[in-house]
Amino acid sequence: MKNFIAVGDRLTIPAPADIASGEGVLLETLFGVAEGAASSGAEVVLKLSGVFDLPKAPSQEWAIGAAIYWDAAEKRCTTVATGNRLIGIAVQPVGDSALETLGRVRLNACFGIPVAT
């Protein structure tokens, strides 16, 4: 097929800011995890699908299957929908201890869905 470009699970974009490898990146409605570090404006490859351990809001309990949103201001995942973008689901339970700051997320492989405030 002549018009096939790529599988689409990775996308190269100009980094919207300095980005660390493994960091979540939200650009408008696009969300992915950086495969490598990049300086602002340099090309960075985002992984748009898969399962990742990502920073989460502390003292927040997650159940398997819970909707997970990206809090762009705090650069972390949350179960709070208001003002955030839907990025996937929790695939492992996480307790509500303040020390539990990582959560396992399966990205929804499409885009950060806006939620009304």
User: For residue range 60-110, what is the model confidence (pLDDT) as tens digits?
Assistant: 999 999 999 999 999 999 999 999 999 999 999 999 999 999 999 999 876
Ranges of each domain in the chain: 10-114
Q: How confident is the model at residue 48 (pLDDT cuts 50, 70, 90)?
A: very high
Q: How confident is the model at residue 5 (pLDDT cuts 50, 70, 90)?
A: confident
| Residue 102 confidence (pLDDT) | 96
Q: Is the pLDDT of residue 117 over 70?
A: no
Distance CA 8, CA 59 (A): 35
